Structure 1
Amino acid sequence: MDLSWIRGLDGPDLPRPCCTPATVAEARRWLGDGPVRWAVAAGQAMTRHIIDHVPEHGVGPAPFETLRRASEAAVLTGLCVLAAQGPVPYGVPPDGVEVVRDCVRRGIPLDRVLRGLRLGHAVLYRMLRDSAPDGDLPTEITEELFEQVDRMAGDMAAAYVAERERWEASQEAVRWHLIEAIIAGEQHDPDAAEQILGYRPSRCHVALIAWSAAPGGDGADRLVADLLAASGGDAWLQVVGHAGAVWAWIGFGDRPGRVEWPSVLPAGWRAAAGPPSFGLAGIRRSHLGALRAARIAATLPAGGGVCDYGEVRTAALLLENAERARWYVEETLGALAADEDRAEQLRETLRCYLSCGRSLKNTAERLGVARNTVAYRIKQAQDLMRSGSGRLEVRIALEIMRFPRALETATAPPPDDTQGPKRRMYVKPGLAP
Structure 2
Amino acid sequence: MAHAGNGSEVDVVERIAQTILDERDELVRHLSTEIRARVRVLGQDARLRELADASTSDNVSAVLEFLRNGADEAEVRAPERALTSARALARNDIPASALIRAYRIGQTGFLDVAMRYAVEFGGADTAAVIMRIVHRTSTYIDQVCEQVGVAHEQEHERWVGSRGGLRQRWVNRLLDGAAVDIGEAERALQYPLTGHHLAATAWTDPQVGTATAADVLDQLRTALAGLFGRVHRTLLVPVDEHEARLWFSVPRAITVDARAIERVLAERELPVRMAISGCAAGVTGFRQAAGQAARARRIAQLGGPGGERVISYADVAATALMAGDIETLREFVAEQLGALAVDNQRNLWLRDTLRVFLARNNSYAAAAQELAVHRNTVQYRVRQALNLVGSHHTQDGDLHLRLALQATHRLGAAVLLPDAAHR
TM-superposed CA distance for 1:176, in Å, is: 1.6
Amino acid at match of 1:134: F
Q: Is the 8 A contact 2:275 2:297 kept in 1?
A: yes
**TM, length-normalised to structure 1:** 0.74
Query: For residues 259-270 of structure 1, what are the structure 2 equivalents within 5 Å?
Result: 259=257, 260-262=260-262, 269-270=272-273
Amino acid at match of 1:144: R
Partner of 1:401: 408
Q: Is the 8 A contact 2:303 2:414 kept in 1?
A: no
Please state whether the residue corresponding to 2:409 is helix, strand or coil: coil
Cα distance between partner residues in 2 of 1:376 and 1:94: 50
Partner of 2:213: 220
Cα distance between partner residues in 2 of 1:406 and 1:207: 28
Partner of 1:32: none
TM-superposed CA distance for 1:367, in Å, is: 1.3
Equivalent residue in structure 2 for 1:86, among 58, 69, 72: 72
Partner of 1:246: 244
* Post-superposition CA distance 1:260-304 (Å, at most 9, x none): 213568898542111122333332221111011011010234374
Q: Name the one with the larger helix percent.
A: 2
Cα distance between partner residues in 1 of 2:317 and 2:146: 44
Please state whether the residue corresponding to 1:372 is helix, strand or coil: helix
TM-superposed CA distance for 1:344, in Å, is: 2.2
Please state whether the residue corresponding to 1:237 is helix, strand or coil: strand
Structure 2: runs of 5+ lacking an equivalent: 1-5, 417-423
Cα distance between partner residues in 1 of 2:328 and 2:108: 31
Query: For residues 274-289 of structure 1, what are the structure 2 equivalents within 5 Å?
Result: 274-289=277-292
Q: Is the 8 A contact 1:227 1:261 kept in 2?
A: no
Q: Is the 8 A contact 2:197 2:289 kept in 1?
A: yes
Please state whether the residue corresponding to 1:403 is helix, strand or coil: helix
The range that moved more, 58-67 or 348-357, is 58-67
Q: Is the 8 A contact 2:303 2:411 kept in 1?
A: no
Cα distance between partner residues in 2 of 1:307 and 1:140: 49
Q: Is the 8 A contact 1:62 1:242 kept in 2?
A: no
TM-superposed CA distance for 1:355, in Å, is: 1.6
Partner of 1:50: 35
Please state whether the residue corresponding to 1:179 is helix, strand or coil: helix
CA RMSD of the aligned region, Å?
Answer: 3.7
Q: Is the 8 A contact 1:239 1:248 kept in 2?
A: yes
Equivalent residue in structure 2 for 1:343, among 335, 343, 347: 347
Q: Is the 8 A contact 1:210 1:270 kept in 2?
A: yes
TM-superposed CA distance for 1:363, in Å, is: 1.4
Cα distance between partner residues in 2 of 1:130 and 1:91: 27
TM-superposed CA distance for 1:373, in Å, is: 1.5
1:96 aligns with 2:43: no
Partner of 1:421: none
Partner of 2:382: 378
CA distance 1:180–1:243, shift in 2 (3 Å): farther
Cα distance between partner residues in 1 of 2:326 and 2:61: 32
Equivalent residue in structure 1 for 2:203, among 183, 208, 211: 211
Cα distance between partner residues in 1 of 2:58 and 2:392: 50
Partner of 2:3: none
TM-superposed CA distance for 1:316, in Å, is: 1.6
1:71 aligns with 2:64: no
Cα distance between partner residues in 2 of 1:319 and 1:286: 18
Query: For residues 266-345 of structure 1, what are the structure 2 equivalents within 5 Å?
Result: 269-302=272-305, 304-345=308-349
Partner of 1:414: none
Cα distance between partner residues in 2 of 1:104 and 1:149: 20
Cα distance between partner residues in 1 of 2:61 and 2:359: 50
Cα distance between partner residues in 2 of 1:325 and 1:72: 24
CA distance 1:180–1:114, shift in 2 (3 Å): same
* Post-superposition CA distance 1:335-365 (Å, at most 9, x none): 2222222222222222211221111111111
**TM, length-normalised to structure 2:** 0.76
Equivalent residue in structure 1 for 2:140, among 142, 148, 152: 148
TM-superposed CA distance for 1:196, in Å, is: 0.4
Partner of 1:430: none
Please state whether the residue corresponding to 1:236 is helix, strand or coil: strand
Q: Is the 8 A contact 2:293 2:313 kept in 1?
A: yes
> Which structure has the higher relative contact order (CA within 8 Å, separation 6+)?
1
Please state whether the residue corresponding to 1:121 is helix, strand or coil: helix
Identity %: 25
CA distance 1:267–1:143, shift in 2 (3 Å): farther
Equivalent residue in structure 2 for 1:134, among 115, 118, 121: 121
* Post-superposition CA distance 1:152-191 (Å, at most 9, x none): 4455555555555555555543322221222233465554
TM-superposed CA distance for 1:402, in Å, is: 1.9
Please state whether the residue corresponding to 1:261 is helix, strand or coil: helix
Cα distance between partner residues in 1 of 2:358 and 2:25: 43
Partner of 2:103: 117
Q: Is the 8 A contact 2:275 2:310 kept in 1?
A: yes
Please state whether the residue corresponding to 1:401 is helix, strand or coil: helix
Query: For residues 17-36 of structure 1, what are the structure 2 equivalents within 5 Å?
Result: none
TM-superposed CA distance for 1:382, in Å, is: 1.9
Please state whether the residue corresponding to 1:402 is helix, strand or coil: helix
Cα distance between partner residues in 1 of 2:409 and 2:206: 26
Cα distance between partner residues in 1 of 2:283 and 2:334: 41
Cα distance between partner residues in 2 of 1:206 and 1:373: 41
